Amino acid sequence: MSAEIKWIDKPHPVSGVTNGKLGIWLFLASEVMLFGGLFSALVLLRTGADSWPVGHELLNVKLATINTLILIISSVTMVMSWASLAMKNLSKYKMYMAITVILGFVFLGIKAVEYGHKFEHHHFPSTSIFYAIYFTLTGLHAIHVIGGIIVNTYFLFPGSKLWQTKPEMFTNRIECAGLYWHFVDLVWIFLFPTLYLL
Partner 1 sequence: MSKEHSPSFWKKYIFSVDHKIIGIQYGITAMIFLLIGFALVSVMRWQLAFPGQPLPLFGVLFGMSNAPGGIILPEFYNQLGAMHGTIMIFLGVVPLGVGAFGNYLVPLQIGAPDMAFPKLNMMSYWVYLTGGIVMLASFFFPQGAAQSGWTSYPPLSNIAPVGQTVWLIGMVFLITSSLLGSVNFIVTIVQLRADGLTFSRLPFFVWAQFITSFLLLLAFPPLEAAGILQLMDRLAGSSFFMPSGLVVSGEALQISGGGNPLLWQHLFWFLAHPEVYVLILPAMGIVAEIIANNTRKPLYGYKNMVGAALFLGFMSFIVWAHHMYLVGMGTTMSNFFQITTMIISIPSVILLTCLLLSLWGGSIRFNTPMCFALAFLPMFAIGGLTGLPLGLTASDIHLHDTYYVIGHFHYVVAPGTLFALMAGTYFWFPKITGRQMSEVLGKIHFWASFILINIVFMPMFSMGLAGVSRRLWNPTEYAHAQPTQVLNVVVSYAAWGLAIAQLPFIFNLIWSTFKGKQVDTNPWKATTLEWATPTPPPHGNFEREPVVLRGPYEYSVPGQREDYLPQNAEQ
Residues that bind partner 1 (CB under 8 A): 1-7, 12, 15, 19, 22-23, 26-27, 29-31, 33-38, 40-41, 44-45, 48-49, 124-129, 132-133, 135-136, 140
- For residue 143, give every residue at least 6 positions away whose Cβ sits within 8 Å of its Cβ, in sequence order, or none: none
152 vs 68, 92, 122, 149, CA distance in Å? Answer: 19, 15, 35, 5
CB of 164 to partner 1, least distance (A): 17
Complex with partner 1: residue 51 or 91, whichever CB lies closer: 51
Complex with partner 1: residue 38 or 106, whichever CB lies closer: 38
96 vs 7, 18, 43, 100, CA distance in Å? Answer: 28, 24, 38, 6
- Please state, in angstroms and rounded to a whole number, the distance separating the CA atoms of residues 38 and 2: 46
Complex with partner 1: residue 29 or 87, whichever CB lies closer: 29
CB of 99 to partner 1, least distance (A): 29
CB of 127 to partner 1, least distance (A): 6
Alpha helix positions (H), the chain: 19-48, 55-58, 61-86, 90-120, 129-156, 162-165, 167-191
Complex with partner 1: residue 5 or 87, whichever CB lies closer: 5
CB of 90 to partner 1, least distance (A): 25
Complex with partner 1: residue 140 or 179, whichever CB lies closer: 140
Under a CB-based contact definition with an 8 Å cutoff, are residues 94 and 156 in contact? yes
CB of 176 to partner 1, least distance (A): 12
Under a CB-based contact definition with an 8 Å cutoff, are residues 53 and 128 in contact? yes
